[in-house]
Amino acid sequence: MLSGLDHLVVTVTDMGRAVDFYSRVLGLDVRYRDAQRVDLMLGDTALRLHQTDTDIAPISATPTPGSLDLCLRCQLPLDEFKQHLDALAIDVELGPVARQGANGPIESIYLRDPDGNLLEICRPTSR
């Protein structure tokens, strides 16, 4: 019946700060849909940003900045991505560590966005 994920809503406290982080640090393309909605493109899937003080309906029952735990696949080797983060003074909370992804073994590093959402950046391994 279902075939994939179209978009995932990320609740943020400051749209500009979130757009800067996801575009500059993670390299996502930005698409402004209107004054209150921004899509950050991840292939053919979007991370859709909603700011907490906007009047968008419908929304989840309890939209909460910092409640997201998201794993994103990386094309670069993780040591190169970590060097990129280091150059931007972005703290890595954990990793690289071995984990199990949706389709097999992965290696991951963990960091947080400006709202405290946990972002796992992973790359498949052949273990």
Q: Report, as residue numbers or ranges, the catalytic residues.
A: 120
Query: Residue length, the chain?
Result: 127
Q: Helix, strand, or coil here: 50? A: strand
> In this structure, what token pair is assigned to residue 14?
């400051």
Would you list the DSSP string of 83-102? HHHHHTTPPP-EEEEEEEET
The residues, ordered by sequence, that sit 6+ positions from 45 with a Cβ below 8 Å of its Cβ are: 4, 5, 6, 7, 8
* Greatest pairwise CA separation for the chain in angstroms: 47
Is residue 8 within 8 Å of 70, Cβ to Cβ?
Answer: yes
